[in-house]
Structure 1
Amino acid sequence: MPNARGKRRRFGSVRRLPSGRFQARYPGPDGQLRNADKTFPTQRDAEVWLVRKEAEIVEGRWQDPHEEIAFGEYATAWLKERGYAATTRERNESALRLHILPAFDRSPISKITTPHVRQWRAALLDKGIGETTVVKAYQILRAIMNTAVDDGLIQRNPCRVKGAGAAKTAERPYLTVPEVYRLADKVPACFRVLVLLAAFTGLRFGELAALQRHDVDLERRTISVRRAQAETRAEGLVIKTPKSNAGIRSVAFPASLVEELTTHLDLYAEPGRNGLVFVGQRGGRLRRNNFRRVWLPALRAAGLSDVHFHDLRHTGNTLAATGGATTRELMHRMGHSSVRAALIYQHLVNGRDHAIADHVDEQIRQAKRGRGKLSGT
């Protein structure tokens, strides 16, 4: 069809509708003619759209608009393609299966709209699903839809509910040093150093459970984190490398722990260079569920409540921040490649910000005293 300039288009055609808008039509790879899914205010807009559609076909990115892709099929394939660690994969698969697919499984991915997402989220909260769980499900749905945008299946991510991707979680408890020792006194002797190291180095439970004798350097007072233990329903105990390069690190521990750690290695650790530093009370691998049986009674005996083992890591990171650790130093100790978590701990220590303000205030007072001397007042 000749266009307004009298030239025949090489690909597709454009015609003016009675409404005054323009319609684009093009041949798919199968030769079948298809109309654009929308009309255009100008002929130029329609022609630009045809150029882009031709590029999709040439580059192999074209999707037949009549072959709608079901969300469930796409989401399942999406999860399989992610390079998640075992525990993260299991957690995300559970959120997808329990909270997302029941609502969107058979829905064409291109038909899911922001109102649909908003209604789905509200329904989960109305059912009494915890806010943290709903936030996680929303984050996964948003990530899937972001990939759908990248794949050219949709033009815009429908997950645009303000604030839905951020959990408003209560701040976890921070244990003082005396509280840490009080708790360490109440656990069985074989776990005393486990508690102290968690609190004063910020290592995770899985990192501590996977430590071997050769990872501990008593002379240099360092622990090398090279692997971590994960516990999954499908695969059981899994020993893996940290999920990022930042997780492989060497962390210094306080000199006060050298003697206790030496005693622990002599009495409770497995023998040999590759022997585990921490084992269960019956000699097997240390597991979260088994440790919980001694953790809860120890909390009660120490007069503490609502404290998770992971809160010891919170204590260690906060102590490091109060000691003046920089963002980069905190990231190293925590095993994070992102500055986000490190900045949280630096923000907690706002007393240092007051110290800076006090220093500035002292400079102001000195300047005022100097002005008073110059003016003779």
Structure 2
Amino acid sequence: MGYAEKRGDYWRGRYKVGPGQYGTVSDSDGSVIRFAKKRDAEKAANEAEAFVRNGKRVFSAKNGQLFSEFVSEWYAVQDLAASTMQNYKRHIEEHLLPRFENEPIRRIRQVDVNAWEKAERQAGYAESSIKTWRATLHLILADALDEGLIDSNPAARRRGRGKRAGRSRNRGPEKAVTTASGVLLIAERAALLSGRDDEFVAIVTLGFTGMRWGELVGLEARCVGESAIQVESQLYELDTGELHRCPPKDDSYRTIDVPEWHSELLVDHLAHNSPPPCSCHDGRSYLFGGHRAAAGSVRKVGAKLVDVARLAAVSTGTVSAVLNRPDTVKEATRQPVETAIAELGYVRGGAPARLAAHWRRNGFATWLFHPAATGWYPSKAPSPTRPVPVIGEPWPGVPVRGRNAAGRADSCWLPIAPALTPHGLRHTHRTLLVELGVPDKLIDERMGHEDGSVQGRYTHVTASMRESLLEGLTGLWEAALEVRRAMRPTSPVTVLDALLRAG
């Protein structure tokens, strides 16, 4: 046990740290604490020795670490999912180190943490984000507490502090949802924006299964059956751009029941597309692929339009006219252009660009989902927000692209669900299940959630529950098709057109 040692006119506490090794009770600077009373020195020494027996470090001069030093050691020993490690790194480097980097960890006070949080709020960050960053700081300091580097966790919140009205400040904005008809209409527009059926099938699947975005992108062809979808993995997009294949969130492996109409939609899509093996994930075949050219594939090999114009000594507009409207160009002008095309071996359009293997979250949300839901392209420098220009016929309008797109368009889209996001379709699906009266146990199973309550443990899913669920989803889908058919009985989207005509 610890003991008090007389040193002139004061006492110091001594405690055993190992065989034949003793430490001295010190303050946050590593200076020996001088006790006026023997009893106080003995008490401090016993407390320090108790820390050592419990495998914890006692604060001394050699372990009086800065926050930056401790957090580097802390991060290095974590062994978590790649997505979690990425998030911790971002929180630490972008929000914690700028304030606490050179602060001795023992000197961080609760008032310092509260001042940092206030500064983050004044900088305009969302409450939900600040809450997440403080939770990371709390976790780091909790481990420092366990190691004996600090006496209490300054990032801990004391319950009931502050104004009662301030509690609502920590709540994020209400997540936007839509209806089954809204899901169908947004899916149709997204397919028109991409120029293919894939986005229609994908958005309908998000809205009618409640799958997470990463689970949809990582849905393998082999996991699609005649009456169910197997959720076995997800593709999580890291900051490096890599799509990391990992288990679904919280290991929520599950089987999602799908109605007959949805199963046929997925199986037909799979049959018509025959997805190739993915070169970046061990040759696995995924149900959905990217809608834009893969990086580097847009660089076409060979002569370009500008090369032809330069050789023929004309403008690129003249070359374009020769290619598209040769009868409007004079023979004397057309001949040198045709000769330049032959000499350079120019091929109009070049080789088709290779599509990316997978969607990217930002690209999908920005250029497909957001314009489909709101009718507006978002602001991306140097372009401001602007309506999606469309040709009104065939209804609901085909997006116009290229030079003077707005001038060539004659219509634009009205918003369907202005604040909706791809993740909002997951909220939408759960809300639809509640409207259908689906039992909570089946909802949790379908969403990949877990209810640890006694009620959850003593409630079980039955076959009749599943049948009622599928009947309800079928009713929602047929009602959505009827709403769309009442607007116009045909569609420019091939797969939807077939569904409307079959009705």
TM-score by length of 1: 0.75
Q: What's the counterpart of residue 255 of structure 1? A: 260
Matches within 5 A, 1:99-138: 99-138=95-134
* TM-superposed deviation, 1:27: 4.5
The 1:114–1:263 alpha-carbon spacing in structure 2 relative to 1, beyond 3 Å, is: same
User: Contact 1:14–1:24 at 8 Å: present in 2 too?
Assistant: yes
2:171 to 161, 168, 173: 168
Structure 2 counterpart SS, 1:251: strand
Question: Gapped runs of 5+ residues in structure 1?
Answer: 1-9, 344-377
Aligned length in residues: 326
CA distance in 2 between counterparts of 1:269 and 1:212 reads: 12
Q: Is the contact made by 2:210 and 2:430 (CA closer than 8 Å) also made in structure 1?
A: yes
| Cα distance between partner residues in 1 of 2:372 and 2:41 | 72
Matched, 1:244 2:250: yes
Partner residue of 1:177? 180
User: SS of the residue aligned with 1:290?
Assistant: helix
Q: Secondary structure at the match of 1:135?
A: helix
2:289 equivalent among 279, 289, 293: 279
Pairing 1:184-203 to 2, within 5 Å after superposition: 184-188=187-191, 189-203=197-211
330 and 65 in structure 1: CA distance in 2 versus 1, 3 angstrom threshold: farther
**1:53 matched residue in structure 2:** 48
1:303 counterpart residue number: 415
Q: Say if 1:269 and 1:278, in contact at 8 Å, map to a contact too.
A: no
Following TM superposition, by how much is the alpha carbon of 1:284 offset from its aligned partner in structure 2, in angstroms?
A: 2.3
Indicate the percent of aligned positions where both proteins have the same amino acid.
26
CA distance in 2, matches of 1:289, 1:33: 56
What is the CA distance between 1:99 and its match in structure 2?
A: 1.2
For residues 35 and 289 of structure 1, the distance between their equivalents in structure 2, rounded to whole angstroms, comes to 55
Q: Give 1:42 shift.
A: 9.3
**TM-score of the superposed pair, with normalisation by structure 2:** 0.58
State whether residues 23 and 36 of structure 1, in contact with CA within 8 Å, keep that contact through their aligned partners in structure 2: no
Question: Structure 1 stretch 300-309 or stretch 65-74: which is displaced more?
Answer: 300-309
Residues 2 and 13, structure 2, Cα contact 8 Å, conserved in 1: no
Distance 1:302 1:253, change over 3 A: farther
Cα deviations by residue, 1:100-142 (Å, 9 ceiling, x for unpaired):
1011112111110011111111122223333333222211111
What residue number does 1:322 align with? 435
Deviation at 1:202, TM superposition (A): 0.7
CA contact (8 A) 2:91 2:133 kept: yes
Matched residues in 1 for 2:224 and 2:240: separation? 31
Query: 2: distance between equivalents of 1:204 and 1:267?
Result: 25
Match of 1:244, SS state, is helix
Contact 1:27 1:33 in 2 (8 A): yes
Amino acid in the other structure paired with 2:131: V
User: Contact 1:251/1:333 (CA < 8 Å) preserved in 2?
Assistant: yes
- Structure 2: which 5+ runs fail to align? 28-32, 192-196, 278-282, 292-354, 376-412, 457-503
Within 2, Cα distance between the matches of 1:185 and 1:36? 70
Code of the aligned partner of 2:259: P
Take 1:324 and 1:49, find their aligned partners in 2: how far apart are those partners? 62
Any residues of structure 2 matched to 1:140-151 within 5 Å, and which? 140-151=136-147
Residue 83 of structure 1: how far off its partner (Å): 3.4
Do the aligned partners of 1:75 and 1:144 also contact (CA within 8 Å) in 2? yes
* 1:214 to partner: Cα distance: 1.3
Give 1:271 deviation, angstroms. Answer: 5.3
- The answer to whether the Cα contact below 8 Å between 1:173 and 1:311 also exists between their aligned partners in 2 is yes
The Cα offsets for residues 272-294 of structure 1, whole Å up to 9 and x where unpaired, read as 89521111233622222332322
Question: Alignment RMSD, CA only?
Answer: 3.4
Q: Amino acid of the residue matched to residue 89 of structure 1?
A: M
CA distance in 1, matches of 2:439, 2:44: 51
Structure-2 separation of matches of 1:85 and 1:33:
39
Aligned to 2:317: none
> Which of 61, 70, 73 does residue 66 from structure 1 map onto?
61
> After the TM superposition, which residues 220-231 of structure 1 pair with which residues of structure 2 at under 5 Å, given as runs?
221-231=227-237
